[in-house]
Amino acid sequence: MKDFPAELRPFAQWITDLGEGVEILVTSGIVLILSVLVPSSRLRRRVVVGANSITAAAAFIFLSVAGGGLTAALVKNVIGRARPKLLETYGHLHFEPLTFDSDFAAFPSGHSATAGAMAMSLALVFPRLRSLFIPVGVLITLSRQLVGAHWPSDTLMGWAVGAAFALWMAHVFARRRMMFFYDRDGCLRRKEGRRVMQALWKAATGGAGVAKPA
């Protein structure tokens, strides 16, 4: 976008870098690794159930973000749409499928797909904070246009791919009764996990969450 103020470009670039999903993937990955290393035999049953819920949430977020991003990466290289920087050479709608060249990998936007998957997965796991996650995801998506990396249609479709993948993953988990379930009306719901973090903290610090030896 030529009219975008140059002094705001560093901020837009910082926002768009969040669309790589490194932070959320590393965080959820660490939680998954720790869940394997923590001996469940030292924890009370109630805390084990809470720990399993956190593990399921981390797995859901990780698979949603990674899967949504990889899906967009595959599709955009198959389609091969030219990026905005090639406008004067090729125009708005030029395609070179299967070139696997970054210059021809605009549709759909991979960063936007990751942003959509992050926003949707986090909103499903933490529904009370969805008013925070969704706008942040939208901001990341818009930043791809502001830095001149994508057309509006690229970012819109990228967001849709990522969000749809996360929603599909939630249904996969629900069918396995992990993290989500279906209510009597067939609507997708998140399982409740009250005071889980407090119980885990007590367990980690040797408090009431740790099972006493017989």
Model confidence pLDDT, tens digit, residues 32-56: 888 777 665 555 555 555 567 788 8
CATH of the domain at 133: 1.20.144
Domain count, the chain: 1
Residue 2 lies in a domain: no
What mean pLDDT do residues 145-153 have?
87
Least confident of 11-15, 103-107, 192-196: 192-196
- DSSP H or E run through 189: strand 188-190
How much is the pLDDT for 27?
87
Nearest Cα neighbor of 98 from 81, 121, 116 is 81
Residue 12 lies in a domain: yes
How much is the pLDDT for 4?
55
Domain containing 188: what range?
7-204
DSSP state of 84: G
Model confidence pLDDT, tens digit, residues 55-95: 888 999 999 999 999 999 999 999 999 999 998 899 888 99
Q: Which letter, b or e, does each residue of 69-83 get, where b requires 16 or more Cβ atoms within 10 Å of its Cβ?
A: bebbeebbbebbbbb
Residue 150 lies in a domain: yes
Residue 210 lies in a domain: no
Q: Would you say residue 164 has pLDDT above 90?
A: yes
Residue 211 lies in a domain: no
